[in-house]
A and B are shown apart, each in its own frame.
Chain A
């Protein structure tokens, strides 16, 4: 039982990261109907920029984390303004390939700037680890869970309590209504991408101390994030978070009881199955009735 709880906690911590990846993906999708294949790279960037700032520039973690988030957000802004804005009338295939191209370029740039070695940063610290019986919750895990909790509350307030947030959420479905609230679709798209990049970057910094940062991390993290978002029902922020937790826990259980090597495949298999069998997500009806 204690082992199971420990596995569960590990899964929830990782699931929080997936949930944040899925959130970015969802926010962009709601604003523009775009599936951003570069979303995972924001997490990668958060990790490698943090590592670079701490190990190369010698910045303290408290400064390095905001720097990493800012760099990621800035890259999201550039990506939207320079590339996607100029291609928004392209067909699906072209847009998909465009974001894959951006993902490759970011990966390549990270490899050039920060090198190809995996690297570690110290935990954020400050919060002590919690020990209950033989079950322990690591300090970084608490950081991660707290961050997602605060983030969820902030996003919930933004999207359901402010006019601005509501307009953004509707920007892709009701561009005119959004425009009436003072949110041009173009502006909504930029803001969404910056938010996604910042959230991704933050998630990347949070997980850097527990799993090494590397320029190659983006693909798998991105796919796990997609899986979480799809499982939760595309476009549903709450579903994205729950989807992330679910996939994190399933992976952790698979690693603990089946075979650790196959844990990565589980999330992807779930993604494929949900896409084919329940494209509206596991909680699909809620999404439909919300519209």
Chain B
């Protein structure tokens, strides 16, 4: 039955213009066509992305099998889970390249697309070619280049919750300039203040320049910048099995400036071609957070960081494609410097509940009690973090008849250093012994460093099955490769460390020593180790150029030192990255693109069973449990039909319905809290004229309110909900 249906669909297929363009969607550093890559590839062109209403990388969740980037918090939170791995803090498991330039800081991953031409995802470890933080894949975004369009592109879109999105672009022979602006009134209300939690204003700019100086040398430059100011953190408290509305009294906001300057050069010699890509990156952001997320004055965080980075990537390959052996050798280097200031303010309720109650609970009442005069105790934390790395890599592709064998290896070195300078002061007295308050100050300064050396091998084989039709190809492949995610320093736990040091120091200043003093990790324990994974994969790809593509794969990932975000037990105020001993993920992924006649059909599905093989945090043994936060299933299904109008000014009418599905998700290592599989229905109607399109798009039409994020703060539990039903209308302009 299924075979008959497939045969019927294939028989009906005719080439359409916005199918999967082999040459247009190639990923960074891949000069082979995507169908000849021995890894699963997801590729989307402009029209597919537009029709699906995808405006930023988070929108690619579910479209790419196994990818889950939940939309919550703020633009800061680019949490990425892929194939069961990932974490919301620090280094990602997926690399992001924009026009062949790696985006080093995950805080800059959540960007508004401006004239995106394609999004290509290479799934599975891409360690050999791309190195650090590409353990589960690389997402390559390409924007429209000068010369690929001539004229003006514009868009205006408005809708639910005051959404307004506009962009205007000009394309010439050598230059392209784009400007974008987005506004939103907010999706959630704060029951405490009565104001919207998450209003948004953001602007972005992109300038591209390309020039061929000679037959041998071509240059291009891309400069993009964005500025965001938004309300943030719509988290509601979960008490006694009930999720309460968002209700907190202090500021929750996020502001960010990002600049990404990338230059590329390609120098072609007689026998070799050198491709160089260099970048300078800047990110300044400012997070204001009511860290207890309640209507009480407990504690707040103000985190500001200025982060600069530079990258250089050189790749040398033969100018002419060789028949049997195609080598590529590269060198990569980066440097990143970050100045982070993250003062935590303990307010009246926090001083009482987190400091005084803690201390006085251990002091017999008949001896006395501790009193603090301050109503706001700032715990100041300044960090200077440097990381640097260099890598040498080589990949050789051997073509032997229908076989294509690839062997690659990369040697990645990474170093890191963090200087920390933390301090806190307060005025205290011990009643009834001390008649007056005494000043107390606690300082904590020092530095840490780390280094890592990783050898990342890769072996793959691809076989092209003989086909009776010239445009129809069936490829089978098997790949074994290693990837890694860099280690780092836990900065978010320092307020906990200093709070405990302050309390213990204060008691010592008094000459009182608790039998069971508050225990906290020290700075030396704030390093977390690199995570590594071996990925074993087999798959197949059946395609007919510009007509259909079917792809399926099975993988097994053997992970070591998996990085997890954990909440220290008790009334802790911080969170930290830790390494689970060993984990594994077993999964399957499938994608189908079919274009029978005026139909457009797409299906993406991923399922994985990701578990801890060995993880004992000292208090509990989680071995065998599912890895939290990562969904067991992702699904995207879309069906569209275009009615072409041969006469009249309206050229066509397009209808599209799509379905997103994600789940189930375990929210904690113990697997006691979970989220079932949830569906979200969307759709779009587009009327097409020669120079403009008018559309109406709905997302989450079923108004699914499933939970997208879970965390703990000072022992309380919180969830974020998915955004409600939304309708937008829009007008695109092409002149």
Q: Do A and B come from one complex?
A: no
B-side residues, CB < 8 A to A, are: none
A-side residues, CB < 8 A to B, are: none
